Amino acid sequence: MSIILDKVNFVYSEETAYQIQALKDVNLEIKDGQFIGIIGHTGSGKSTLIQHLNGLMKATSGTIYFHGQDIYEEDFDLRELRNRVGLVFQYPEHQLFRRSFITSRRLISREGRSAVWRSPECLP
Ligand SMILES: Nc1ncnc2c1ncn2[C@@H]1O[C@H](COP(=O)(O)OP(=O)(O)OP(=O)(O)O)[C@@H](O)[C@H]1O
Ligand SMILES: [Mg+2]
C-alpha cells in the first residue's frame, strides 16, 4: 500500500481576491508501513496537505494515487479510502470521545447544591 501525490496543487478561494495557493506542485510518496512527520512553519500547508490524503479536500490540480489507483476517478471508492486512511485532528480527544466524557464537570443542581456530573460512559 502506498499513497502517492503527483504534482498536487491546491488553491483556496480560487479566482477571487482572496485566492491563496496553499499547495504547489507537491510530489510525495508514503510507502506501506512508513512513518513520516511533516513539519513546516505556520501556514505552510501541512493541514491542507493532510486533508488531501483521504480525499477530504480535492486538489485543484494534480493526482493522488492510493494502491496505484487515482482517487479522483469517478468509480474510486472514497468511503473505502476513508476507512483505510484515518485522520486525527488537533485536540483528538474531542474527535474520539463525546464531549460529556471529557468535561466531567460540576453542575449546580435544581436545589442549588453543586454535584459532580458524570456521563454514563464514565461509569464502570
Ligand atoms: N479555509 C481556508 N480558507 C482560505 N485560506 C486558508 C484556509 N485554510 C488555510 N488557508 C491558508 O492556506 C495556507 C496553508 O494553511 P494550512 O492551514 O494548511 O497551514 P499549516 O501548515 O497547517 O499551518 P499551522 O501550522 O498554523 O497549522 C495558509 O496561507 C492559510 O492562511
Ligand atoms: Mg495546521
Residue 18 has pLDDT above 90, yes or no: yes
Q: Residues with beta carbon inside 6 Å of ligand 1?
A: 12-13, 20, 22, 40, 42-48
Q: Cell digits for 1?
A: 500500500
CA neighbor of 80 nearest in space, from 105, 55, 46: 55
Nearest ligand to the C-alpha atom of residue 40 = 1
Rounded mean pLDDT of 40-47?
96
| Digit-coded pLDDT (tens) for 49-96 | 999 999 999 999 999 999 999 999 999 999 999 999 988 887 777 777
Best residue among 11, 47, 89 to mutate for probing ligand 1's pocket (most ligand atoms within 8 Å of CB) is 47
CA neighbor of 7 nearest in space, from 22, 20, 19, 24: 24
Spell out a b/e string for 12-46, using b for 16 or more CB atoms within 10 Å of the CB, else e: eeeeeeeeeebbeebeeebeeeeeeeeeeeeeebe
- The residue whose C-alpha atom lies closest to atom 28 belonging to ligand 1 is 43
Kindly report the pTM of this predicted structure: 0.81
